Amino acid sequence: MTTKQTPAPTTGQNAPVAGAAPTAGPQTPPAPHEEGRSQGVFVIGCPRSGTSVLSWCLAAHPNFWTSAESDYLLDLFGSVDLHSAYKRAISRPDGGWLEKNKVGYREFASAMGRGVEHLYESRSRGKRWVDSTPGYTLMAETLSMMCPQAKFLHIVRDGRSVVCSMLKSGFNTDWSDDFKTACHTWVRYVTLGRKFAAAHPDRALEVAYESLTAEPERRFEEVFAFLGEQSSPKAVELLTTKRINSSYGNVKADDVRKAKDPSAAPKRPWEDWSAKQTDAFNKIAGPTMSELGLV
């Protein structure tokens, strides 16, 4: 199989892509507030793109641990909230504690992240924690400052498959009920995730879902190498034998959480779209699909 290099977004920097050797960015000694920090992993990407299965495959490795999606960081520390809190504190008429003690925003964010890392580590029992909350794609830049030694895996899946999965998921969200909203959601998440990965090539790796499922041994070697670990056959075994959090083959709403046979998933579910739906997807998501080399 020939792996296509994913075009970089319009930032002028190239994000490493699973399928190509990761390119190390400039290495600088960690600031004092970054030393000894947790080396966890955030798996980011659009909902229904495979964030869950990738995180559980990582956790099949003896050095990693994962659990359910956490979600709460987006509400507590979404980039607007955290930065607004910092700006308000340093804008006090009397200068305030942060201003008088010369605490910059990066150090402030890093300090907030120590508690988050402690919570993860209190449950991971010495293993590297993995969080796969898709919404953290929207605040990856903030998380990179809060957890300065964490790595990021940005998983990207064919937008047609993602939209189909969204609409079949049964979740109580706007993108599960409206076709165009699902299309726009995929474009937004992919664009933000790729922009972040391009800006942080030493900390973020882009993983193509289709390439991962087609060549799991090779791709997991690249993923684990990026994370500084030896590969594990258990990750490949889980990916090839179980579907996790799948939208298909569900009778009851809770069935989406059950593991299923990967071969039972439809290969090209978008072929059932109407002409109107196909036109809408091409108009909304076509440029992004082209950038990814998927059309």
In a domain, 185, yes or no: yes
pLDDT value for 289:
98
Tell me the CA distances in angstroms from 234 to 49, 57, 231, 262, one per residue in order.
Answer: 21, 7, 9, 16
pLDDT value for 26:
37
The tally of domains found in the chain comes to: 1
Structural domain range at position 256: 36-291
In a domain, 27, yes or no: no
CA–CA dist 15, 208 (Å, integer): 12
pLDDT value for 253:
54
pLDDT value for 263:
65
Residue with tokens 């992004």: 288
CA-based nearest residue to 88, from 76, 105, 106: 105
CATH number at residue 71: 3.40.50.300
In a domain, 2, yes or no: no
Counting Cα atoms < 13 Å in the Cβ hemisphere of 86 gives 19
CA atoms 70, 191, 196, 83: torsion sign:
negative
In a domain, 154, yes or no: yes
Angle of CA points 144, 141, 107, to nearest 5°: 55
> 169 with 48: CB under 8 angstroms?
yes
pLDDT (tens, 9 = 90+) of the chain, 295 residues, equals: 333 333 333 333 334 444 433 333 334 455 655 777 999 999 999 999 999 999 999 999 999 999 999 999 999 998 778 999 999 999 999 889 999 999 999 999 999 999 999 999 999 999 999 999 999 999 999 999 999 999 999 999 999 999 999 999 888 999 999 999 999 999 999 999 999 999 999 999 999 999 999 999 999 999 999 999 999 999 999 999 887 665 545 445 554 555 656 666 677 999 999 999 999 999 999 999 999 999 8
In a domain, 262, yes or no: yes
In a domain, 5, yes or no: no
